[in-house]
Structure 1
Amino acid sequence: MKIVISGFYGLGNTGDEAILEAIIDNLRAELPNPDITVFSLSPEQTAKAHGVKSVYRGWRHDNKGKIRALREADLLISGGGGLLQDAYPTRFLFGPLPYYLLIVFLAKLCGTKVMFFSQGIGPINTKWGKILMRVFGNMADFITVRDEYSKQLLRQLGVTRPETVVTADIVFAFRPKEDEACVESLPLRGDEQLVAVSVRPWFHHRDYYWKIAKALDELIESEDITPVFVPMEGRHDIYASEQVVKQMAHGTSCHILGPDFTPNQYLHFISLCRLTIGMRLHSLIFSALAGVPHIGLSYDPKVESLLKRSGMWDYSFRLDDIDAAKLVNNTRYMLRHRESLSRIVRQNAEQMRRDALENIRLLKEKFCSNGRVANK
Structure 2
Amino acid sequence: MRALLSGYYGKGNGGDEALLATLLQMLPPHVTPVVLSGNPEETRDRYGVESYDRMAFLPVLQALRSCDAFIWGGGSLIQDVTSTISPVYYGGLMALAQMMGLKTVAWGQGIGPLKRAQTRWLARKTFAACTKVSVRDRASAALLSDWQIPCILSPDPVWALEAKPVTGLTDLPAHRVAVTLRSHPQLTETRLANLTQALVKFQKATQTFILLLPFQKSEDLNIAEAIQPHLKDVSQIMCLEDPQLLKGVYRHVEMTIGMRLHSLIMAAAEGCRCFALSYDPKVNRLMEDLSMPGWDLANLPDDPNIISKVWIEHYAHGNPLSSEQIQSLVNRALMHRELLIAALEI
TM-score computed with the length of structure 2 as normaliser = 0.91
| Residue 114 (structure 1) aligned to one of 104, 123, 127 | 104
RMSD over aligned CA atoms reads 2.1
Q: Offset at 1:260? A: 4.5
Q: Offset at 1:254? A: 5.0
Q: Which residue of 2 aligns with 1:354?
A: 331
Kept in 2: contact 1:310–1:345 (CA 8 A) = no
Equivalences for residues 229-248 of structure 1 within 5 A: 229-245=212-228
Q: Which residue of 1 aligns with 2:22?
A: 22
| Residue 248 (structure 2) aligned to one of 253, 263, 268 | 268
| Residue 157 (structure 2) aligned to one of 156, 170, 178 | 170
Amino acid at match of 2:14: T
Q: Which residue of 2 aligns with 1:48?
A: 45
Kept in 1: contact 2:175–2:209 (CA 8 A) = yes
Q: Offset at 1:200? A: 0.4
Q: Which residue of 2 aligns with 1:332?
A: 312
Kept in 2: contact 1:47–1:53 (CA 8 A) = yes
| Residue 69 (structure 2) aligned to one of 54, 68, 75 | 75
Paired with 1:151 and 1:101, the residues of 2 have a C-alpha distance of: 18
Q: Which residue of 1 aligns with 2:280?
A: 300
Decide whether aligned partners of structure 1 residues 325 and 166 sit closer, same or farther in structure 2, where only a CA change above 3 A counts.
Answer: farther
Kept in 2: contact 1:9–1:40 (CA 8 A) = yes
TM-score computed with the length of structure 1 as normaliser = 0.85
Q: Unaligned 5+ residue runs, structure 2? A: none
Paired with 2:80 and 2:95, the residues of 1 have a C-alpha distance of: 18
Paired with 2:306 and 2:2, the residues of 1 have a C-alpha distance of: 51
**SS in structure 2 opposite 1:24?**
helix
Decide whether aligned partners of structure 1 residues 326 and 204 sit closer, same or farther in structure 2, where only a CA change above 3 A counts.
Answer: closer
| Residue 115 (structure 2) aligned to one of 122, 125, 132 | 125
Amino acid at match of 1:320: A
Q: Offset at 1:180? A: 1.6
Kept in 2: contact 1:2–1:72 (CA 8 A) = yes
| Residue 180 (structure 1) aligned to one of 156, 167, 176 | 167
Q: Offset at 1:245? A: 4.6
Q: Structure 1, residues 272-312: CA drift from partner, whole Å, max 9, x if none?
A: 11100000111101101110010011111211222233342
**SS in structure 1 opposite 2:275?**
strand
Equivalences for residues 157-236 of structure 1 within 5 A: 159-160=147-148, 162-180=149-167, 183=169, 190-203=172-185, 205-206=187-188, 207-236=190-219
Q: Structure 1, residues 45-70: CA drift from partner, whole Å, max 9, x if none?
A: 21121121111111xx2x33322322
Kept in 2: contact 1:231–1:259 (CA 8 A) = yes
Kept in 1: contact 2:224–2:237 (CA 8 A) = no
Kept in 2: contact 1:77–1:116 (CA 8 A) = yes
Q: Structure 1, residues 177-222: CA drift from partner, whole Å, max 9, x if none?
A: 22226x38xxx6x434211000001135404312311211211222
Paired with 2:253 and 2:87, the residues of 1 have a C-alpha distance of: 36
Kept in 2: contact 1:197–1:276 (CA 8 A) = yes
**SS in structure 2 opposite 1:163?**
coil
Paired with 1:154 and 1:327, the residues of 2 have a C-alpha distance of: 38
Kept in 1: contact 2:35–2:52 (CA 8 A) = yes
Q: Which residue of 1 aligns with 2:78?
A: 84
Amino acid at match of 1:271: R
Q: Which residue of 1 aligns with 2:298?
A: 320
What percent of counterpart residues are identical? Answer: 28
Decide whether aligned partners of structure 1 residues 118 and 154 sit closer, same or farther in structure 2, where only a CA change above 3 A counts.
Answer: same
| Residue 33 (structure 2) aligned to one of 25, 31, 36 | 36
Q: Offset at 1:258? A: 4.3
- Between 1:120-129 and 1:78-87, the stretch displaced more is 120-129
Q: Offset at 1:261? A: 3.2
Kept in 2: contact 1:227–1:253 (CA 8 A) = no
Kept in 2: contact 1:238–1:256 (CA 8 A) = no
Q: Offset at 1:251? A: 3.1
Relative contact order, higher structure (CA 8 A, sep 6+): 2
**SS in structure 2 opposite 1:168?**
coil
Q: Offset at 1:125? A: 1.4
